[in-house]
């Protein structure tokens, strides 16, 4: 296997795939079939189709749990087929649509209270997945914010960690992300998206609008602190492996990540993309954060250097906590059994 992009995808993101729910055997078999980058999406769709067929058969046999689980597995495979495959537009969109459709089917079967919520935003439509814990009339709500190439469909297993602790979740495809990204670009003032989302969900009678938290991963680890700085309805926030200034990380980013950012930011070339990355800076915003803030980072992060976490915490001050893991990679996806309970337990405590 000599394709640099294939090697980079496997090297940088294998723990992410498996921590989010892709079976290791699927990962090994699928990547073993990929000889060049142009094969990547197609082979993951092939694997996704296997799970989708199992889901259809299980549903026809009234085995709803098996069907739901298989639909979610299919959705993950389709998602990871296209997650940084934006140079092949038709394949990208086909896999994206298959992921959204499979996820919706799985959600209905595994969590009847799960709900798709569409929110108009600046000429586009944000889409979120709202899930509520059973038997709690008005639970606290945690908005889960994806990063550069993650989407709401990737968060099902992470949502379950919060739901088990009595916290509702709202996984959001904001500007430049997932379905919303079809007609919008990344913007540094992500608080505008969070505020608009909160305007919608806080009107409901089935969540506690006075207990709202945020948790973001990767670039979402920039979005969460940024939104907390400007949105007083947010009572606590967690940023996981997000940048202090994204441009400061530019030189070490994999080529796939730089290309993905160029696409999702609407930049015409890499030079413009780096300039846009420089706009994603917490300088001037971090100093405004008054809520409790937890910053999680791993010293083995290949994308966002761990020193970025210290810059965030130092700028925020005494209301910021740092959880630095010597053995953690990007998003600490190689130790999900550590960062996920930590995030959920911390937010549960802060939201009361």
- pLDDT reported for residue 1: 47
Residues 331 and 187 in one domain: yes
Domain coverage including residue 128? 114-352
Residues 130 and 198 in one domain: yes
Residues 214 and 333 in one domain: yes
Contact 330, 218 (CB under 8 A): yes
Question: In this structure, what token pair is assigned to residue 333?
Answer: 């996806």
Q: What gap in Å lies between CA 95 and CA 85, rounded to an integer?
A: 10
Q: Write the pLDDT tens digit of every residue in 53-99.
A: 999 999 999 999 999 999 999 999 999 999 999 889 999 999 999 99
Q: What gap in Å lies between CA 151 and CA 158, rounded to an integer?
A: 12
pLDDT band at 243 (very low <50, low <70, confident <90, very high): very high
Q: Write the pLDDT tens digit of every residue in 6-37.
A: 998 898 889 999 999 999 999 999 999 999 99
Whether 349 shows a pLDDT value over 70: the answer reads: yes
CATH of the domain at 167: 3.40.50.1820
Residues 142 and 280 in one domain: yes
Residues 120 and 51 in one domain: no
Active site (catalytic) residues: 218
CATH of the domain at 88: 1.20.1440.110
**Average pLDDT of the chain, as a whole number:** 97
Question: In this structure, what token pair is assigned to residue 152?
Answer: 């709401």
Residues 299 and 344 in one domain: yes
Task: Find all residues with CB under 8 Å of 251, minimum gap 6, and list them.
Answer: none
Residues 265 and 313 in one domain: yes
Residues 103 and 189 in one domain: no
Whether 275 shows a pLDDT value over 50: the answer reads: yes
How big is the chain by its Cα radius of gyration, in Å? 19
Average the pLDDT over each of 47-51, 112-116, 198-202, 266-270 and give the range with the smallest value: 112-116
Residues 194 and 68 in one domain: no
Domain final position from 58, 90, 110? 110
- pLDDT reported for residue 179: 97
Q: What gap in Å lies between CA 64 and CA 62, rounded to an integer?
A: 6
Bridge partners (DSSP) of residue 168 are 141
Structural domain count, the chain? 2
Whether 297 shows a pLDDT value over 70: the answer reads: yes
Residues 193 and 290 in one domain: yes
Domain final position from 110, 144, 169? 110
Residues 189 and 298 in one domain: yes
Average the pLDDT over each of 7-16, 123-132, 226-235, 284-293 and give the range with the smallest value: 7-16
Domain final position from 110, 140, 155? 110
Q: What pTM, to 2 d.p., does this model score?
A: 0.96
Residues 219 and 340 in one domain: yes
Whether 264 shows a pLDDT value over 50: the answer reads: yes
Sheet-wide strand order for 212-217: 115-121, 124-131, 168-173, 141-145, 212-217, 234-240, 293-298, 320-325
């Amino acid at each position: 296997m000599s394709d640099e992009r294939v090697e980079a995808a496997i090297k940088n993101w294998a723990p992410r795939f498996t921590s989010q729910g892709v079976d290791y055997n699927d990962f090994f078999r699928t990547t073993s079939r990929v000889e060049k980058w142009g094969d990547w999406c197609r082979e993951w769709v092939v694997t996704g189709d296997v799970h989708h067929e199992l889901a259809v058969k299980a549903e026809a046999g009234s085995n709803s749990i098996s069907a739901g689980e298989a639909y979610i597995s299919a959705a993950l495979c389709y998602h990871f087929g296209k997650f940084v495959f934006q140079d092949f537009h038709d394949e990208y969109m086909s896999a994206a649509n298959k992921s959204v459709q499979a996820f919706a089917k799985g959600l209905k079967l595994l969590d009847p209270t799960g709900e798709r919520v569409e929110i108009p935003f600046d000429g586009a439509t944000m889409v979120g997945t709202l899930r509520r814990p059973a038997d709690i009339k008005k639970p606290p709500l945690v908005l889960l914010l994806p990063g550069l190439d993650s989407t709401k469909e990737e968060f099902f297993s992470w949502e379950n960690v919060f739901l088990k602790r009595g916290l509702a979740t709202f996984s959001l495809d904001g500007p430049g992300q997932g379905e919303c990204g079809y007609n919008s670009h990344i913007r540094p003032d992500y608080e505008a998206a969070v505020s608009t989302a909160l305007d919608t969900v806080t009107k409901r009678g089935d969540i506690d609008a006075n207990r709202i938290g945020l948790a973001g991963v990767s670039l979402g680890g920039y979005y969460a602190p940024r939104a907390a700085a400007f949105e007083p309805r947010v009572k606590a926030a967690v940023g996981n492996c997000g940048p202090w200034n994204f441009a400061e990380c530019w030189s070490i980013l994999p080529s796939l990540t730089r290309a993905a950012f160029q696409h999702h930011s609407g930049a015409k070339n890499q030079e413009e993309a780096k300039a846009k990355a420089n706009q994603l800076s917490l300088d001037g915003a971090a100093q405004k954060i008054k809520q409790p803030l937890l910053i999680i980072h791993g010293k083995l992060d290949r994308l966002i250097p761990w020193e970025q976490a210290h810059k965030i915490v130092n700028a925020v001050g005494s209301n910021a906590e740092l959880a630095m893991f010597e053995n953690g990679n990007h998003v600490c996806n190689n130790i999900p059994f550590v960062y996920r309970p930590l995030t959920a337990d911390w937010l549960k405590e802060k939201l009361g």
